Structure 1
Amino acid sequence: MSESTAVKNRSGRLVIHSHDEKSKRKKPEETEVTSNALGDSQKQKMKEKNGSDSREKGHIEEGNLQAPSTDELKESFWLTRIIIVRYMGFIYFVAFLVSLHQNKQLLGRRGLLPANVYLSRLKEHIGTHNPWSLLSAAPTVFWFVDYERDLDFWLDAVAWSGVVIASFMLLSGAGNWSLLLLEWILYHSLVNIGQRWFSFGWENQVLETGFLTIFLCPMFSLSELPKATPTCKINIFAYRWLIFRIMIGAGLIKIRGDKCWRDLTCMNYHYETQPVPNPISYFLHQSPQAMHKFEVLSNHFIELVAPVLLFFPHRGLCMLGGALQIFFQAVLIVSGNLSFLNWLTILPSLACFDDASLAWMFPGSKLKAIALNREVKSRPASTSASIRKVFNISFGLLIAYLSFPVIQNLISSRQIMNTSFSSLKIVNTYGAFGSITKRRTEVVFKGTNSSTPESPLAVWEEYEFKCKPGDVHRRPCLISPYHYRLDWLMWFAAFQNYQNNPWLVHLAAKFLVNDEETESLIAHNPFHSRSPPKFIRADHYKYSFSEIGSAEAKNGQWWKRKLVGEYLPPVSLDMLRQVIVNMGWTAPDAS
């Protein structure tokens, strides 16, 4: 029992206090301190309780991070953005690397199609010297530099800048509007002066995909997971709309085009006659007929039916649609060297996958950071977030508006593939292999030091290109996603004549002087370290794969060839000088 103390109060009555009661009667200061201590204790208990409740709901508190649940990651695209930005960096890296290695030889002042001549003629045609006015016809930064004198420097500067920015994107998985816009402008600048070398559908596709990636990123932050900046679902939809148009466009152009797509025989020819076959193409070409028919049917399913899955509201079906498209592009990558086209086409399909499906690819720290960003996002919107929302809606409306002519083209019986409806190339039409060539022909350049090229005694030595078929014993190359622009255009030149391809005459002139820059574009110059040839000619050959087990194959031949005729008659440097001057090109000097 506690001790008691008896005291009299003011009225004289006896009051008994226990020591416990007395201990409760503190000085005012002691009471206040005790009260504060009790309050702090209660607050701490409440905080711990709230923290426990939050963790049960999958949320996080700073300093006690916990990864969000799988359900919370569904229809969330933070990780998707990282992968897309990295992948876009990879595409830009390859594209600018190709430019860095080849642009001066193709577009430089002494290139095969000099860009300074092209820009001067375009300026004369438009009728103005104001660079801002010229931008509407051909958007390129080269209007603002001295391209007549410093073209080669600026070609390298643009390419190097593109490589550096792309490397940052690839390594960091981050980017912002300024960085992505600059990268887009730089590549746009090359495409618009690239002439024949940049005239293919994947160049427009790079620009459209790059434009979408600008708005995928935050305005200023260079963080992988920028706070309060979730991936906009309008942008995710735009990527899906892009892959849908690419595949539907490719499928419709085939059905409306070559009969072999309807009678299921196109794959009998494709592997052998595609622009730049690889070693696997050789073996795929020799598959049974039934396999080739199955390949055509599979192609029609992937391009004409499977794209519908991309817009299914069911998450699983949408991911299935994306997976089918990625698998299809992977098959195309394995079966031929189609530049970086198929690698690029994989990118918009990545938008079919949300964070829940990609979480296994990332460490737990990234997932915890997403949870923290979700908490930040739940706070009242800032001014910058409101501005971004306006931009996102405007972006969506722009894509919708620019899609009208593209949709009209898709449903038209006169469908045009790989076309832009504006100089900015933001929304374009696509398609590939609407017609299939049934036989392969090649242009083979030859040189001689004989003064009488028409003599049967003249010895003609062949030039070998980097990748296109030449020597029948040389194995087909494997270079994708890298791309040799000269080899690619040589494939098209074989369908036509040299009059339609004046750059071929310029190429012959370069061979006649052993031009070092041009020599870097080919695999073998038979006159290297020797006097240049006195005459150059080009012959037309029919090429076909050797059959497995045949005498040619046992002899180490990948190809068989047969002379079709003369493509370019024997020409000397003197015979070509006036042609080169008339074209506005610099006449090559003999070594």
Structure 2
Amino acid sequence: MAATTSTVSLPSVRYTRNLLLRSMCIIYMFAFLSFYVQIPGLYGDNGVLPAKAQLDLNSPAPLLLKFKQKPTLLWFAPYLGLNVEYMMDVFALTGALLAFLGFVKQKFCKLPMFVLLYSLYLSLYQVGQVFMWFQWDELLLEAGILCIVLTMSWSKKVTPTDPVSLWLVRWLLFRVMFSTGAVKLISKCPVWWNLDAMGVYFESQVIPTPLAWYAHHLPAWYLRLNTVFTNVVELVIPFLFFFPIRRIRFIAFYLHVFLQAITIITGNYNFYNLLAICLSISLLDDQFFYHRKSKTESSQIWKYLTNLICLAVYGGILFGTYKLFNLELKDDWTISSKIGFTQKEFDKAISIVVPASVCVAIASLGIAISYSVVNSLFSVKDTSKKVKLFVKTVIINAVVIYIFALSIVPYTTSLYPKLNSTLPIQLKTQYKKMEPFHVVNSYGLFRKMTGVNGRPEIIIEGSNSIEGPWKEYQFLYKPGNGNNSLPFVAPHQPRLDWQMWFAALGNYHQNPWLMSLAYRILNAQPEVMALLNEVENPFKHSPPKYVRASLFNYHYTPEKNKQSEQAWWTRERASEYFPIFSKDHPPLIEYLQKMKIIQDKPAPKVTNTVLKNALDTLRSVVRKFEATLLLWGMFTAGCAIIMTV
């Protein structure tokens, strides 16, 4: 059988696969560069949470034992004559360079490169501590594993296993989206159940954009309708990712991308939304980009039938939305909405849907694997090539099945624990062994809506006298001074600003790293001060003798005042967050010594002076660029190279 007739039943996915891989390189590039610019302030020897405290490079323990304790390539730092901080620089820069090469040239998107990208990011993640405990970091690691699977075929051309590997990407996208939608209602958060979430979300999100202010002041009924739309896109549309009719999947793709685009323009969620869009490429095929009619598509009967099915599916979703959310058009042309089911009914639905989704996934994956095996047997005539292709297909399919099986554990655990208890103990044991490598993860963003009565913000102040006056420190991106403009900062993630948002939801005892931040401010540590707004530093010439932190409640300025005032926020002090500290405060020093922030023993010396000087020079150059401009500058440079080479 000729190769051209071997895959007539499946659309070509060669271009789709390559586009997904190159898009992943863009995400990796953003992630590594964003991380790189923050290394000294977050993880340097004088940073907020020094990475050297995570790794004892002077330990005489065997290297293998060290890897078992913490799987990171940073253990090799002494072999290059570097310490942990400089080794992190090397890893971040290497990852950014490799990703940039894969972005500008398809030939670099090979298995070794994606193995390196995953390994380097995992190595940094292992010492990232609280500043890297985000779902998008885990999502990038899991997506990186799937890129490795996609490139295991070692072929520029489409292979029988490509549709199977892309199916695994769809399954990841499904888990992310459906879990994110489900946990909102599973959490019993009244704001989500009352459909008031969007009325709070635009004000309470971590780093809002200027458009978030305008979105917050949209009519209440429209914001409630947007909450309905979000629920439907996250809870229902993901099931269409596996639909056999292409047009239905394509519409699901458009809806998914639209939701991510709205999130991008109203909120700074670093590379997360771009990564979600990147994963959605798996819903497409090559005919999406350049239409080439197949014999099936040429049939008018098939065309009418698919149109009819498409109308039936999406018509059914619209009708279901109308009934389940009690949509009603009012006399004033507004649309009222209210959830028409109870928590008990939703929990029962989840108990049915989660196991059903696993069963549907098994069936869908089984069909894809069957096609790949058959195509491997009939796509080439040469017997030796056929055997090699078949063996390769079996191996890759086995890897896909293994990853899929592992993913069932976190998926069911986060949504329906009762199903998890019925899983084989061997499967859960395997998942536990692979957990440090984040091959698969559990997901579910915005479980509960915070900031209902105003967004809490921590304001750090310094003074040279306990009686005051107290002067406020400004951060680069998070709300502080109400007159400061809201920023566009994505795909960069200012991890300190992000963690300040989470810290405001608790107390300083739950966020011990804040004590280190206070200590670094008291010592005016340059690496840490670079993470704050140095232009508005109230103590430029010498650090304050005392620091304190207060908790404020922030609200957007009313719509009627925004036209005449510059302020974006109004705020009122709620309470003390942490008490007054000085840099020689004994309890503070003792606490930081226990955290290994302050250490008596000397750090490992850097003996590779040539590499050290090169890294210092590069750092001094990069420091002159604002992080977001640096990231988009690299992207623009990559686009220019693609267009000219």
Q: Which band: TM-score by shorter chain?
A: 0.7 to 0.9
Task: Name the counterpart of 1:444.
Answer: 459
Which AA in structure 2 matches 1:514?
Answer: A
- Tell me if structure 2 keeps the 8 A contact 1:176–1:219: no
Indicate the SS of the match to 2:253. Answer: helix
Describe the shift of the 1:424–1:58 C-alpha distance in structure 2 as closer, same or farther (beyond 3 A): closer
Which AA in structure 2 matches 1:547?
Answer: P
- Tell me if structure 2 keeps the 8 A contact 1:444–1:462: yes
Task: Name the counterpart of 1:204.
Answer: 138
Indicate the SS of the match to 2:486. Answer: coil
Describe the shift of the 1:263–1:462 C-alpha distance in structure 2 as closer, same or farther (beyond 3 A): same
Indicate the SS of the match to 2:461. Answer: strand
Return the offset for 1:58: 12
Indicate the SS of the match to 2:436. Answer: coil
Task: Name the counterpart of 2:335.
Answer: none
- Tell me if structure 2 keeps the 8 A contact 1:545–1:559: yes
The correspondence of residues 425-464 of structure 1 with structure 2, limited to 5 A, is 425-437=438-450, 438=452, 439-450=454-465, 453=466, 455=467, 458-464=468-474
Indicate the SS of the match to 1:446. Answer: strand
Provide the rounded CA distance (Å) in 2 between the counterparts of 1:332 and 1:574: 45
Q: Does 1:392 align with 2:400?
A: no
In percent, how many aligned pairs have the same letter? 30
Q: Deviations over 1:361-389 (max 9, x none)?
A: 9xxxxxxxxxxxx9x96453366534532
Provide the rounded CA distance (Å) in 1 between the counterparts of 2:157 and 2:134: 39
Task: Name the counterpart of 1:565.
Answer: 575
Which AA in structure 2 matches 1:449?
Answer: N
Q: Does 1:276 align with 2:207?
A: yes
Return the offset for 1:330: 1.1
Describe the shift of the 1:430–1:543 C-alpha distance in structure 2 as closer, same or farther (beyond 3 A): same
Query: Of 540, 546, 571, which residue of structure 2 is paired with 1:535?
Result: 546
Indicate the SS of the match to 1:543. Answer: strand
Return the offset for 1:228: 6.7
Return the offset for 1:435: 0.3
Larger Rg: 1
Describe the shift of the 1:397–1:559 C-alpha distance in structure 2 as closer, same or farther (beyond 3 A): same
The gaps in structure 2 that reach 5 residues or longer are 293-375, 421-427, 601-645
TM-score by length of 2: 0.71
Provide the rounded CA distance (Å) in 1 between the counterparts of 2:415 and 2:462: 50
- Tell me if structure 2 keeps the 8 A contact 1:81–1:231: no
Provide the rounded CA distance (Å) in 1 between the counterparts of 2:69 and 2:276: 28
Q: Does 1:82 align with 2:93?
A: no
Task: Name the counterpart of 1:3.
Answer: none
Return the offset for 1:470: 0.3
Which AA in structure 2 matches 1:579?
Answer: Y
Task: Name the counterpart of 2:252.
Answer: 321
Indicate the SS of the match to 2:584. Answer: helix
Which AA in structure 2 matches 1:571?
Answer: F
Query: Of 409, 413, 416, which residue of structure 2 is paired with 1:409?
Result: 413
Provide the rounded CA distance (Å) in 2 between the counterparts of 1:579 and 1:553: 48
Task: Report how many residues are paired.
Answer: 493
The correspondence of residues 348-367 of structure 1 with structure 2, limited to 5 A, is 348-359=279-290
Cα RMSD over matched residues? 3.0
Indicate the SS of the match to 1:522. Answer: coil
Q: Does 1:182 align with 2:193?
A: no
Query: Of 235, 240, 245, which residue of structure 1 is paired with 2:165?
Result: 235
Provide the rounded CA distance (Å) in 2 between the counterparts of 1:116 and 1:236: 39
Q: Does 1:345 align with 2:286?
A: no
Provide the rounded CA distance (Å) in 1 between the counterparts of 2:74 and 2:495: 21
Provide the rounded CA distance (Å) in 1 between the counterparts of 2:112 and 2:14: 20
Task: Name the counterpart of 1:22.
Answer: none
Task: Name the counterpart of 1:93.
Answer: 29
Return the offset for 1:495: 1.3
Which AA in structure 2 matches 1:444?
Answer: I
Q: Deviations over 1:408-467 (max 9, x none)?
A: 225416899xx98511211211111110011201111111223xx1x2xx2221111111
Describe the shift of the 1:512–1:587 C-alpha distance in structure 2 as closer, same or farther (beyond 3 A): farther
Indicate the SS of the match to 2:533. Answer: strand
Return the offset for 1:72: 6.8
Query: Of 220, 228, 250, which residue of structure 2 is paired with 1:289?
Result: 220
Return the offset for 1:583: 2.2
Which AA in structure 2 matches 1:85?
Answer: L
Provide the rounded CA distance (Å) in 1 between the counterparts of 2:528 and 2:419: 38
Q: Deviations over 1:15-51 (max 9, x none)?
A: xxxxxxxxxxxxxxxxxxxxxxxxxxxxxxxxxxxxx
Q: Does 1:335 align with 2:266?
A: yes
Query: Of 298, 308, 326, which residue of structure 1 is paired with 2:229?
Result: 298
- Tell me if structure 1 keeps the 8 A contact 2:41–2:529: no
Provide the rounded CA distance (Å) in 2 between the counterparts of 1:385 and 1:356: 25
- Tell me if structure 2 keeps the 8 A contact 1:77–1:230: no
Provide the rounded CA distance (Å) in 1 between the counterparts of 2:266 and 2:555: 17
Provide the rounded CA distance (Å) in 2 between the counterparts of 1:73 and 1:180: 30
Q: Does 1:192 align with 2:126?
A: yes
Provide the rounded CA distance (Å) in 1 between the counterparts of 2:513 and 2:415: 37
Which AA in structure 1 matches 2:593?
Answer: V
Task: Name the counterpart of 1:159.
Answer: 92
Q: Does 1:244 align with 2:256?
A: no
Farther-moved stretch of structure 1 (72-81 vs 202-211): 72-81
Provide the rounded CA distance (Å) in 1 between the counterparts of 2:146 and 2:53: 33
Q: Deviations over 1:76-96 (max 9, x none)?
A: 111101211111001100110
Q: Deviations over 1:537-590 (max 9, x none)?
A: 11111100001122x6622110000011211222111113333223222379xx
Query: Of 569, 576, 579, which residue of structure 1 is paired with 2:591?
Result: 579
Provide the rounded CA distance (Å) in 2 between the counterparts of 1:508 and 1:523: 15
Task: Name the counterpart of 1:141.
Answer: 73
Farther-moved stretch of structure 1 (288-297 vs 399-408): 399-408
Indicate the SS of the match to 2:236. Answer: helix
- Tell me if structure 1 keeps the 8 A contact 2:160–2:393: no
Describe the shift of the 1:96–1:73 C-alpha distance in structure 2 as closer, same or farther (beyond 3 A): farther
The gaps in structure 1 that reach 5 residues or longer are 1-56, 60-67, 362-373
Which AA in structure 1 matches 2:37?
Answer: H
Provide the rounded CA distance (Å) in 2 between the counterparts of 1:78 and 1:468: 42
Provide the rounded CA distance (Å) in 2 between the counterparts of 1:546 and 1:231: 55
Q: Does 1:515 align with 2:451?
A: no
- Tell me if structure 1 keeps the 8 A contact 2:17–2:166: no
Indicate the SS of the match to 2:571. Answer: strand
Return the offset for 1:401: 1.9
Indicate the SS of the match to 2:195. Answer: coil
- Tell me if structure 1 keeps the 8 A contact 2:472–2:538: no
Query: Of 144, 147, 155, which residue of structure 2 is paired with 1:213?
Result: 147
Provide the rounded CA distance (Å) in 2 between the counterparts of 1:472 and 1:228: 54
Provide the rounded CA distance (Å) in 2 between the counterparts of 1:472 and 1:311: 47
Q: Deviations over 1:264-315 (max 9, x none)?
A: 1111111101111111110101111111111111011101111111111111
Which AA in structure 1 matches 2:146?
Answer: L
- Tell me if structure 1 keeps the 8 A contact 2:43–2:51: yes
Farther-moved stretch of structure 1 (490-499 vs 527-536): 527-536
Return the offset for 1:130: 3.1
Task: Name the counterpart of 1:53.
Answer: none
Describe the shift of the 1:406–1:577 C-alpha distance in structure 2 as closer, same or farther (beyond 3 A): closer
* Bigger relative CO (Cα 8 Å, ≥ 6 apart): 2
Provide the rounded CA distance (Å) in 2 between the counterparts of 1:537 and 1:187: 35
